[in-house]
Chains A and B, each alone.
Chain A
Amino acid sequence: MSNTRIDRRSLVAGAVAASAWGGQAASAQDAPVRIGELNSYSRMAAFCLPYRNAMQLAVEEINAQGGLKSLGARKFEIVFRDDGSTPGDAVRAAEELLTRENAAFIAGGFLSNVGLALADLANQRKTLYVATEPLTDALTLAQGNPYTFRIRPNTYMQTRMLVDAVKDKGVKRWAIVAPNYEYGTSAAAAFKRLMTAAVPGFEVVVEQFPALGKVEPGPVVGALAQARPDGIFNVLFGADLPAFVREGNNRGLFEKRLVASLLTGEPEYLLPLGDETPEGWIVTGYPADQIKDGPHGKFIAAYTAKFNEAPRCGSLLGYVSAHIMRDLIEKAGSTESGKLIAAFNDATFDSILGPIRMRGLDHQSTFGAWVGETTLNGRTPAMKNWKYVSGEAYLHPEDEVKAVRKS
């Protein structure tokens, strides 16, 4: 299932003479336009391998349709690099892509600290960075910069979607469990802030912040149960989630309680739950198995045919991002950073999800998410009662952005 083809890299690259900084300078008219894509393909393989698969699918489609038309049908190419899951490795790989591989700009990033480091590098080098996946709010707020644009709905937006879905359920006593790192703690903070505003009498009766990837489910579930909350806001994901869910199921933690759970509907995290999948959690996610119609249905069919499995959330993001980057180059009619950035601000892109706008104010796109409930289809986990929610209504309020964003 892991499509781990060796990335293309011209082994002679080392011998190629120094190329102009930033890579936008004269390459032959018919040479492909390259985009440097960095991600945690080895360490976050569950998300990033499907992501790359879909990007490769998109690239094939784009080139089959005649490449980049505004640039004389030059081919569109994405060069993939592992970011080593550390900012140090990521920044070096980015420099390699920009210098040796002649990448027009960089894209990708999974971990927030990697995303922030790449954003800062882009700012320093005055090169576009399309942050596809990193969720941290800081990327488009306090640490945003003119060269960095984010595709995915950030932590705040996804939390707000969930808050919208649970605020009228009459639940006031909440427990919060989140991994102890930036994503977890900022989701918890956003949840508290938004719920306080939306639900009179909202209170948090217990909070647990186990170390990421090291949750001891017994003590955590015990601590949550003891506080007798009426609702649970869960931010655990990855390996921590199945452990938490099974222990919670064993001990009846979720019985007669409303659970709002971030990202849990994404196949990457939902599928490992198997028949443990609890009924009726309100989640954000991606019900790829149930979308049949329109261009999105076509993408799912094509992806499934090619890779022998349904697309994951990462696949969707990779596919849409590749098309956005193509469209961006077409709109700019150039691969120069200045023109790309000018074209990106407030541009609207057609996508298989419908129109996606890149808000100029904070460089956050309106790429949305599906909000629904978890259920079991036989023994297969699934989402039900879902609907696609565009990010448009969930962006950070403009005044908040203006207050913290420096540039």
Chain B
Amino acid sequence: MDASFLVAQLLTGLASASSLFITASGLTLVFGVTRIVNFAHGSLFMLGAYLAVTIVPRLLDLHYSLPMFALGALAAALIVGLIGVAIELILLRRIYRAPEIFQLLATFGVVLVVQDLVIRIWGPLDILGPRAPGVPRSVEILGQRISGYDLVLIAVGPTILGLLWLLMRRTRFGVLVRAATQDREMVGALGVDQAKLFTATLFVGSFLAGLGGALQIPFKPAQPAMDIAIISETFVVTVVGGMGSIPGAFLAAIAIGLLQAFGALIIPESTLVMAFLLMAVVLVVRPWGFLGKPDAHLGARTAIEGVKSLTPLDATGKAVVAIALVAGATLPLWSDAYGLKVAIETLCFALAAFALNLLIGVGGMVSFGHAAWFGVGAYAAGLLTVKLGLHMAPALIAAPLIAGAVAAFIGYFIVRLSGIYLAMLTLAAAQLIYALCFQWVAVTGGDNGVVGVWPAEWAAARAVYYGLTFLLCVAAIWLLRRAIHAPFGYALRGARDSHLRAEAVGIDVKGQRLAAFALAGAATGLAGGLYAFSKGSIDPTLLSIPMSIDFLAMVLIGGVQTLFGPVIGAGLLHAAKDFIMPLTDLWRTWLGLTIVALVLAFPQGVLGGLAQWRARFARSRKP
């Protein structure tokens, strides 16, 4: 490999990095000020690209010049900025009082809607934008041809960095943003209108996302899946750079751009996993990222509100549980085979979601990678059955054990962190396991997965398998609930309420959390194993990011403050999906709107909201 080639590769890597930075700087800005993990950032990026491929060619028809191109890109970014403001005003502002993590769910609803929207408006075909006028197609450097536009990007990235620096240092807005990034309460205490600050921040952040999208049209087409492609990478940049740090994001984008450019030369398949590997390493070695501050409460403050208090079920609660149990146990008598199928899946999800709430609601540890344990359980069950010829029963015993062991191993690194950093490490870990399942074709079957994971003869009948699932899921949930009411759960909750006090009364906080991870992992692994046998196959989508988001959505929709909220959430979300999907092509829109509606109607989750209403009703009846 000669030096000139390495220089060329370096420059193209820097161009990718520059483009990534523009988008990621918006995300880190928004996170820094509002603490919202904005999933819709990728959607805004996508809208920027689509608007640009619509606006720019029209402008170029008027006058074919680089300024016109730039004008078009800026116009697209501006519109996206306004869309961001609209999202803030219509949606996010209404739920600022809800736990911060809840806003993540709302933005995820937006993601689903926008995905359908772009296909509606622009059609399903990919749209490649025009080249930038006046920019040479290629430039020869040291005998290597490099895209002229790459050089433009290399210049634009640092320019944006500089402009943002000026904005942050020289304007009142910038001062407030920096203050809010460091201490949000402080800004509120200073009498600054927080709502206005948030709106302005959403505008700038969305503008940057739109600009990132608009500027990439000369080398990448606008297409309906680009939101998902970019969002995970911008998360990585944000975390690796240090949450809220714009220069950090710049460095992180460069690190990722170069890793991608040179990593692919050594291991061609490595681009799949490079970014997440970097994030995992950074979080383990230097959790606050390149330029973030090792600020304990930045991590801790994103901790979610969780289970508030535990009381034994009252009479109404007992009655509801009893009715649900009887209905569940007798389901085969009054439901058709398909109803049982849906019920089996719902039970699996309910168990996984309940286990996730052990971490979130009880432990105060938000996990973005819960699908990992579901997937590991499913893969353990599936591979043991198909590849090693094990029977279903031992495979179902092995699934939780293996998932629990893997969760304990990874949990060792995770429990040393807190807040958003912890959440991001769970995401990275899940992605690494995903990559392993995806890439280790000889064992896992790669993305095709493995088929033939069917129940043993005795459980093959739908009703029998349903009975088995019902029994195991209910038993597991009951055991988890028992653990939550036992000293174990209290100690975990104590660690969430006050880390200092927990240590001072003799609770080993890390150990407690590690045990919780292993326990939640094992329970979720069992759910995954049961799910695999009900589907007959395993494949990497079981431990993908969308699956993790689904679990998170179930927990949040149901409510993190109550133990059974996630069970309700699992039922609601799955039922909604099952009901909406066959009705319309626009099922993502409707699912997204359903999520948004639930978020707005029940900012404490459905069960949390019901409990509140009940309490209010009870109070109003008192004389």
A residues near B (Cβ < 8 Å) are 1-2, 4, 6-7, 9, 17-19, 21, 41-43, 45-46, 49, 81-82, 84, 86-89, 91-93, 95-96, 99-100, 112-113, 116-117, 119-121, 124, 136, 138, 143, 180-182, 185, 207-211, 213-214, 216-223, 225-226, 238-239, 242-243, 246-247, 249-252, 268, 271-274, 276
Contact B138 A252 (CB under 8 A): yes
Interface membership of B578, Cβ < 8 A: yes
Contact in complex: B541, A124 (CB < 8 Å): no
B295 at the interface (CB under 8 A from A): no
Whether B448 contacts A7 by the Cβ 8 Å rule is: no
Query: Quick one: CB contact mask for B568-605 with A, threshold 8 Å, 1 for yes?
Result: 00000000011001111111100000000000000000
CA A251 to CA B144, docked complex, whole Å:
9
* Chain A contacts for B449, CB-based, 8 A: 87, 113, 116-117
By Cβ-Cβ distance, the 4 closest A-B pairs, closest first, are A218-B12, A45-B124, A18-B336, A120-B451
**B119 interface neighbour in A2, A208, A209, Cβ under 8 Å:** A2
**Which residue on chain A has the smallest CB distance to residue B342?**
A92
7 contacts between A and B (CB under 8 A): A9-B582, A42-B585, A95-B338, A96-B578, A180-B272, A207-B268, A272-B127
Determine the chain B residues whose CB is within 8 A of the CB of A223 once the complex forms: 9, 264-265
With A and B bound together, what is the CA distance between A294 and B584 in angstroms? Answer: 36
Whether A218 lies near B126 (C-beta < 8 A) is no
Interface flag for B452 (CB, 8 Å)? yes
Q: Knowing A7-B582, A182-B448 are in contact, say whether A45-B224 is a contact too (CB < 8 A).
A: yes
Q: Closest residue to A272 on the B side, CB-wise?
A: B126
Q: What residues of chain A lie closer than 8 Å to B185, measured between beta carbons?
A: none
Give the shortest distance, in Å, between B144 (CB) and chain A (any CB): 8
Contact B137 A250 (CB under 8 A): yes
A239 touches B221 (CB 8 A): yes
User: Of B146-154, B196-204, B282-290, B558-566, which binds chain A?
Assistant: B146-154
The closest CB in chain A to the CB of B585 belongs to: A4
B535, A117: Cβ atoms under 8 Å?
Answer: yes
Whether A250 contacts B220 in the complex (CB less than 8 A), given A113-B448, A209-B268, comes out as no
Decide if A4 touches B148 in the complex (CB within 8 Å): no
* Interface secondary structure of A, over-half rule: helix
Least Cβ distance of A249 to chain B in Å?
7
Q: What mask results when residues 131 to 158 of chain B are scored 1 for a CB within 8 Å of chain A, else 0? A: 1000001100000111111100000000
Bound form: Cα–Cα A274–B225 in Å:
20
Q: Across the A-B interface, how many residue pairs have beta carbons closer than 8 Å?
A: 232
Does the CB pair B585–A7 fall under 8 Å?
yes
Q: Are A250 and B271 in contact (CB under 8 A)?
A: no
CB distance from A220 to the nearest CB of B (A): 7
Known: A143-B451, A182-B447. A113 touches B146 (CB 8 A): no
Residues B581 and A82 in contact, CB atoms below 8 Å apart: yes
CB within 8 Å of A: which residues of B?
A: 1, 5, 8-9, 12-13, 15-16, 115-116, 119-120, 123-128, 131, 137-138, 144-150, 218-221, 223-226, 229, 233, 257, 260-262, 264-265, 268-269, 271-272, 335-338, 341-342, 345, 438-439, 441, 446-449, 451-452, 454, 531, 535-537, 539-542, 546, 577-578, 581-588
How far, in angstroms, from A21 to B269 measured CA to CA in the complex? 44
Asked if A124 and B587 sit within 8 Å, CB to CB, the answer is: no
A218-B15 contact given A6-B583, A181-B446, A211-B272, CB 8 Å threshold: yes
Enumerate chain B residues within 8 angstroms of A185, measured Cβ to Cβ: 441, 446
Q: How distant is the Cα of A243 from the Cα of B218 in the complex, in angstroms?
A: 9
Q: Which residues of A contact B588 (CB under 8 A)?
A: 42
Interchain CB contact (< 8 A) of B268 among A21, A89, A138, A208: A208
From A182, A218, A272, B13 is in contact (CB under 8 Å) with: A218
Closest to A5 in B: B585
Given contacts A46-B124, A86-B546, A271-B125, 5 further A-B contacts (CB under 8 A): A6-B583, A82-B581, A113-B448, A117-B449, A216-B12
Flag if B125 contacts A222 (CB, 8 Å): no
Please give me the residue from chain B that is nearest to A252 by CB atom. Answer: B145
A186 to B380, CA, bound (A): 25
What chain A residues lie within 8 Å of B454 (beta carbons)? 124
Chain B nearest CB from A150 CB (Å) reads: 14
Separation in Å of the A405 CB from the closest CB of chain B? 14
- Cβ A250 vs Cβ B225 within 8 A: no
- Cβ contacts under 8 Å, A81 to chain B: 581-582
A46-B126, A116-B451 known; A218+B119 contact, CB < 8 A: no
A88 touching B336 by the CB < 8 A rule?
Answer: no
Contacts of A17 in B (CB 8 A): 336
Contact partner, B16, options A41, A136, A219, A246, Cβ 8 Å: A219
> B578, A92: Cβ atoms under 8 Å?
yes
Beta-carbon contact of A1 and B123 below 8 Å: yes
B337 touches A21 (CB 8 A): yes
| Contact A42 B150, CB 8 Å, known A87-B535, A100-B338, A272-B128 | no
B531 nearest CB neighbor, chain A only = A88
Q: Are A246 and B536 in contact (CB under 8 A)?
A: no
Chain B residues whose C-beta falls within 8 Å of the C-beta of A112 in the assembled complex: 447-448
Complex: A6 Cα to B590 Cα, angstroms: 13
Query: Once bound together, how far apart are the Cα atoms of A108 and B454, in whole Å?
Result: 22
Cα distance A220–B16 in the bound complex, in angstroms: 12
The answer to whether B12 touches A91, judged by C-beta atoms less than 8 angstroms apart, is no
Question: Could you tell me the distance between the alpha carbons of A338 and B137 in the complex, rounded to whole angstroms?
Answer: 60
A41 proximity list for chain B (CB < 8 A): 585
- Shortest distance in angstroms between B586's beta carbon and chain A's nearest beta carbon? 7
B30 nearest CB across to chain A (Å): 23
> Which A residues are CB-close (under 8 A) to B223?
238-239
User: Contacts A218-B261, A223-B264, A239-B225 hold; do A42 and B587 have CB atoms under 8 A apart?
Assistant: yes
The answer to whether A88 and B268 touch across the interface, beta carbons within 8 angstroms, is no
Q: Which of these, B269, B336, B438, contacts A100 with CB under 8 Å?
A: B336
B326, chain A: closest CB distance, angstroms: 20
Tell whether, in the assembled complex, residue B9 and residue A219 are in contact, meaning their CB atoms are under 8 Å apart. Answer: yes
List the A side residues contacting B131 at CB < 8 Å.
246
B336: chain A residues within 8 A (beta carbon): 17-19, 99-100
A191 to chain B, nearest CB (A): 15
Residues of A within 8 A of B262 (CB): 219
Contact (Cβ within 8 A) A243 B219:
yes
- Residues B448 and A136 in contact, CB atoms below 8 Å apart: yes
Are B448 and A138 neighbours in the complex by a CB distance under 8 Å? yes
Residue from B146, B257, B260 in contact with A251 in the complex, judged by beta carbons closer than 8 Å: B146
Flag if A249 contacts B120 (CB, 8 Å).
no
Taking the nearest CB of chain B, how far is it from the CB of A61, in angstroms? 23
Q: Is the CB of B272 within 8 A of A86?
A: no
* Closest A residue by C-beta to B137: A250
Knowing A2-B120, A87-B541, A113-B449 touch, does A214 contact B229 (C-beta < 8 A)? yes
Given contacts A92-B342, A273-B128, contact A86 B9 (CB under 8 A): no
Chain B CB within 10 Å — which of A46, A93, A271 has the most?
Answer: A46
Q: A88-B535, A211-B272, A250-B148 are in contact. Are A99 and B138 (CB under 8 A)?
A: no
Q: Are B586 and A4 in contact (CB under 8 A)?
A: yes
| Whole-angstrom distance between the Cβ of B24 and the nearest chain A Cβ | 15
Q: Complex: how many Å from CA A249 to CA B225?
A: 24
Alpha-carbon gap, A225 to B143, bound state (A): 12
A99 vs B578: C-alpha distance in the bound complex, in angstroms? Answer: 14
B451 and A18 contact, CB distance less than 8 A: no
B5 contact set on A, CB distance < 8 A: 222, 226
Q: How far is the CB of B115 from chain A (nearest CB, A)?
A: 8
Min CB–CB distance B382 → chain A (angstroms):
11
Find out whether the CB atom of A243 lies under 8 angstroms from the CB atom of B220: yes
Complex: chain B residue closest to A111, CB-CB: B447
Q: Complex Cα distance A3/B536, Å?
A: 33
- CB nearest neighbor in A for B226: A239
